[in-house]
Amino acid sequence: MSARYPERIVCLTEETRVAAFLSARIDRIVELKPDLVLGFSDLQADIALELARAGLNILIFNQRSVDEILSMILTLASMVGAASKGQELVKTLEAGLQEIRAAASRFPRRPKVYFEEWDAPMISGIRWVSELVEIAGGEDIFPELSRSQAASGRVLSDHSLVIERKPDVMLASWCGKKFRPERVAARPGWQAVPAVRDQQLFEIKSADILQPGPGALTDGVRRIHEILRGFLSRGDRTLRSGGA
Structural domains present in the chain: 1-62 (no CATH), 101-240 (3.40.50.1980)
**CB-based contacts of 244: which residues, under 8 Å, 6+ apart?**
238
pLDDT in tens, 215-233: 999 999 999 999 999 999 9
Average pLDDT on 143-147 reads 96
CA distances from 189 to 112, 117, 185, 205, 217 (A): 18, 20, 9, 27, 34
- What does the pLDDT average to over 28-57? 93
Residue percentage of the chain with pLDDT more than 70: 89
Give Cβ neighbours of residue 34 (< 8 Å, ≥ 6 apart): 56
Is residue 7 scored above 80 in pLDDT? no
pLDDT value of residue 20 = 83
| pLDDT for the residue numbered 46 | 94
125/24 Cα distance (integer angstroms): 26
Closest CA to 125 of 153, 104, 105, 103: 153
- Is pLDDT at 174 greater than 80 in this prediction? yes
Q: How many CA atoms lie within 13 A of 150 on its CB side?
A: 5
Would you list the DSSP string of 158-185? Answer: -THHHHHH--SEEEE--TTS---HHHHH
Is 150 in contact with 234 (CB distance < 8 Å)? no
Is-contact 184 196, C-beta < 8 A? yes
Q: What pLDDT shows up at residue 15? A: 57
| 35, 59 contact by CB (below 8 A) | no
Q: Kindly state the average pLDDT of the residues 80-106.
A: 97
DSSP 20: -
What is the Cα–Cα distance from 244 to 42, expressed in whole angstroms? 49
Instruction: Write down the pTM of the prediction.
Output: 0.87
Q: Over the stretch 156-170, which tens digit does the pLDDT of each residue have?
A: 989 999 999 999 999
Which residues are registered as beta bridge partners of 37? 58
Contacting residues for 94 by C-beta, under 8 A, at least 6 apart: 70
Looking at residue 49, its amino acid is L
Query: Within 10 A of 68 (CB to CB), how many other CB atoms are there?
Result: 15
